[in-house]
Amino acid sequence: MKKNMLILCVFCSILGYGQTLPGTYSVSWLGNTYGKGHRNPASVEGEWIQNYIDSMYVDKDGTCYTASIWDEGGRTHGVYKEGKCIGNNKSFNFRSSVAGDYRIEKQQIINPKNGQKEWIGVKVAGNGKALVDCGKPVAIAIGTGIYQNKLLVADNDSKQILVYDVECETPRIVERFGVKGGIGSPYKARYNMPASKNAPAYPARTYLPGEYHPLKFWTLTGVGMDSEGRLFVSTSELGSSIRCFKLDKKKRWILDWTVQNFIFVDNASPDYTTDAIDIYTVQERYTMNYKNHAPGSEWQIKSITVDEKKYPNDPRALLWVKAGHEHGLTSAAVRKVYGKRFLFVNGMTCQWPFIFRFDENSDIAAPSGCIMKPHRIYDLKPDVFWLPECPRDGRQYIWRDLNGDGDFQENEYTVTDFGYPDGSAYWVDSKGGIWVSKKNVLMQYIPAGLDEHGNLIYDDSHTQKYEITNIDNIGRVMWQEDKDRLVLVNTCCRDLKGGNIYVVDNWQTSGNRQAKCLGGLKGTNPSSVTVAGDYLFEVGWESRAEVFVTDLRTGKYIGSMIPDETVGGIDCTGWVDIAYGIDAIRRSDGEYIVFVEEDYMGKVLMYRWRPDKQKHLDIK
C-alpha cells in the first residue's frame, strides 16, 4: 500500500496536481447525454454515449443494440434501454439492411468530387416486390402498433422514415415520419412536445433551418419498433443519437427518451457577444443556462449547423476530411464580423482555418472561404486533393465561394503570396482578422469587407506585418482586445514543450512591439493554450484534462483544475493532442468558463471557476 501511495504521489507531482487552484471550481461537460467515463466500455458505471451509431437493431422489449466504426473509449457496440446505456455487446450480430423477407440492395460508386468509394442503397426488394421510390435507403425494419406489418425504411435522401404497405400488390408509401429534408429544413411544429427523459420540451412554433427539433433528422442509420409500438430512430456523424417516440393520448408522436453524443475530436468556442450563452462546436450550436449547477445540466442542443443535403461538400459532413487521419476540422472559433456570424474551424495539426458563413434566417453555416496550400489527403487512393477543384501546383491559395453555392469551382481560387509557415500561430480577432506568424514576425490578414454573397474578402493587399523584439520565434498568439495585450508562446502548433510565455502590453495605445518573458509553460508536455481575463490556461498530452493556470500579471503558476469523479476522474479523460484543445471566457459576472477537448469519452469538458478575490487573483 505504501509503495502504491508513493508511486501515486510521484505521478501527481509530475503532472502538477499538488497545487490547488485558489477560489472554487466545478467540473461539468457538454455535448454528451452522460459525462461519466469508465475504463471498461461494458461498465454501466460509465454512461457516456458512443462516438458513432452506424447501425441499430431494436428488440421487442425496446433494447437498442448498436454498432460503431469507432468509439475512442471502446464502446463500439453500445446497448441502450429507456435512455440509459446498459452494456457493450460485441457478440450480438444483426443486419439493419434486412427485415423479414426484405433487404436493401446496395451498389458501390465512386464519388467524382473526391474519388471516394461509397455504398448507396438503390432499392429495397423482397417477396418478389421492389420499392423503387425509397430514395437512399440505409436501414429497414418491420413495424408494430399502428404500423403493424408495415415496412419502415430510413431514407437518407428525404431524411425521413418511409412507412410502406407491402401487403398490396405494388408496395406504396402510406406515411412519412419526420420533417422532409431533415435538419436543414424549416419546420412549423403544430403541437407542443412535452419534456421527456434526457430532453426538454419543444413548443409549437417555427424552427429555422438547422434549429433542432426531435422530428428533424440528419444522417439516418437505423430504425425499429418494439412490442409497445414505440418507434426508434438512430442518427450518426453529425451527432450520434437514438430517439424513442411514443404516441400520446391524441395519437401524436412525442419523444419518450433520447441519448446523444455530438462530440468527436472537437472543442467548444464561446460567443463573446452573448456572454457565452451561445456555444459553438465544429458542427453544433448550444444554448447554455449557467443558473443550472448539476454537472452536465447547463447545455441544450440548439442547432446542427451543417446541411449535408444543401452543401454536400461541406468538409464537416465528410468523415474522411473532418475525422479521418488528418482530423482536419477540430476546433471552432465563432466571431461576429460586420454584424454577421462566421465560424472559423482549425484542424488538429494547425491546418489553415476553414471559414463558414451563416445563411440568412437560418442556423446553417455554409462553406465560405479558406486560405491554404492544397495538399493530398493522407492514405487515400487514388490521390485525393483537398480542396475540391483546387490547383495542384504547390502554391498557396485563397478560396472564396464566389457564386454563393457553398461548393468549389476551379475559378474560385486566387494565388496568395502572403505565406503561412508550418506550425504557425493562429488567432481570429473580433473583426475577422486572421493572425499568423513567421519567426518573430506577426502577420494579419484583414478582411476587406463582404462580397455580394456575404463572404469575407481576404487578399494580399489587406495585410499587415509587425516585427516583435525580445522573442526569437512566435509559435502561438492570443490577442486580448479588451486589455490591449498580446500573449505569445515561442513553441509551435501542438508541440509546446519547453515553451515560454510572453506578453506585449499596450499594443494599440502605445504601439509597443517589445515582448516581455513571463517564464515557462507549466505542464510537462503542453499542447494547447488560451487566455481569458488575466490568466493563461494550459493543457497537455499526458496531463490529460488537467488545466494549469498562470497569472499573466506576474507570470506565477497559481494552481490547476483537475477532473473529479463527476466525469470518472482524470483517468477517464484523454490526452489533449489537438492544437486548439482549450478555450475560455471570463463572463460578465466574473466567472471563468474553460472548455477542454475530451475525446476519450466523447464530450467537451467544462470547468467553472470563481477566483478567490480576497487573494487579489481577479482584480479588474
Helix ranges restricted to H, 59-188: none
- For 81, 246, 372, 431, the CA distances from 330, given in Å and listed in that order, are 31, 36, 16, 22
* Residues in Cβ contact with 46 at an 8 Å cutoff, skipping those fewer than 6 apart: 36, 37, 38, 39, 40, 73, 568, 572, 601
Dist CA 36 CA 286 (whole Å)? 20
* pLDDT of the residue at 620: 36
103 has pLDDT over 70:
yes
Residues β-bridged to residue 365: 358
11 has pLDDT over 60:
no
Over residues 398-419, the mean pLDDT reads 93
1 has pLDDT over 50:
no
* pLDDT of the residue at 20: 80
* pLDDT of the residue at 618: 44
The lowest-confidence range among 192-201, 380-389, 577-586 is: 380-389
pLDDT band at 2 (very low <50, low <70, confident <90, very high): very low
Instruction: Provide, rounded to the nearest whole percent, the portion of the chain with pLDDT above 70.
Output: 93
Instruction: Provide, rounded to the nearest whole percent, the portion of the chain with pLDDT above 90.
Output: 82
Q: Which residue has the cell 487521419?
A: 325
pLDDT tens-digit map of 436-485: 998 999 999 999 999 999 999 999 999 999 999 999 999 999 999 999 99
- For residue 325, which of 37, 117, 70, 50 has the smallest C-alpha distance? 70
pLDDT tens-digit map of 491-547: 999 999 999 999 999 999 999 999 999 999 999 999 999 999 999 999 999 999 999
* pLDDT of the residue at 380: 66
* pLDDT of the residue at 9: 34
Can you list the positions of beta strands (E) in 363-419?
Answer: 365-372, 375-376, 385-386, 397-400, 413-415
Q: Burial letters for 247-266: b for 16+ Cβ neighbours within 10 Å, e otherwise?
A: beeeeebbbbbbbbbbbbbb
* pLDDT of the residue at 491: 95
* pLDDT of the residue at 12: 41
Q: All 3 cell numbers of residue 255? A: 419523444
Length in residues, the chain: 620
pLDDT tens-digit map of 375-395: 777 666 667 778 889 888 888
- For 89, 367, 448, the CA distances from 463, given in Å and listed in that order, are 56, 23, 10
* pLDDT of the residue at 411: 97
417 has pLDDT over 70:
yes
Phi (first) and psi of residue 570, to 5 degrees = -65, -25
555 has pLDDT over 90:
yes
Strand pairing report for 151-155 and 137-142: antiparallel
- How high does pLDDT run on average in the chain? 92
616 has pLDDT over 60:
no
Q: All 3 cell numbers of residue 470? A: 525580445
pTM for the full predicted model: 0.94
* pLDDT of the residue at 113: 59
Q: What is the DSSP string of 12-57?
A: HHHHTTTSBPSSEEEEEEESBS-----SSTT-TT--PPPS---EEE
* pLDDT of the residue at 613: 66
User: CB atoms < 10 A from the CB of 566, how many?
Assistant: 16
- For 483, 586, 617, the CA distances from 589, given in Å and listed in that order, are 17, 8, 15
* pLDDT of the residue at 351: 81
- For residue 443, which of 433, 431, 430 has the smallest C-alpha distance? 433
Q: Say which DSSP state 546 is in.
A: -
The lowest-confidence range among 117-121, 140-144, 249-253, 519-523 is: 117-121
Strand pairing report for 129-131 and 427-428: unpaired
Dist CA 255 CA 479 (whole Å)? 45
Over residues 310-338, the mean pLDDT reads 91
49 has pLDDT over 60:
yes
CA count, 13 A, side-chain hemisphere, 60: 1
Q: What is the DSSP string of 284-337?
A: EEEEE-TT--STT-SEEEEEE---TTT-TT-GGG-HHHHSSTT----EEEEEEE
Question: C-alpha dihedral over 492, 494, 499, 500, to 10 degrees?
Answer: 80
Dist CA 330 CA 453 (whole Å)? 26
Q: All 3 cell numbers of residue 170? A: 405494388
564 has pLDDT over 70:
yes
Question: Who wins on pLDDT, 255 or 11?
Answer: 255
Over residues 345-367, the mean pLDDT reads 93
pLDDT tens-digit map of 138-192: 999 999 999 999 999 999 999 999 999 999 999 999 999 999 999 999 999 999 9
Which residue ranges form the domains of the chain, and what is each CATH number?
95-261 (no CATH), 269-615 (2.130.10)
Question: C-alpha dihedral over 259, 264, 270, 276, to 10 degrees?
Answer: 10
pLDDT band at 421 (very low <50, low <70, confident <90, very high): low
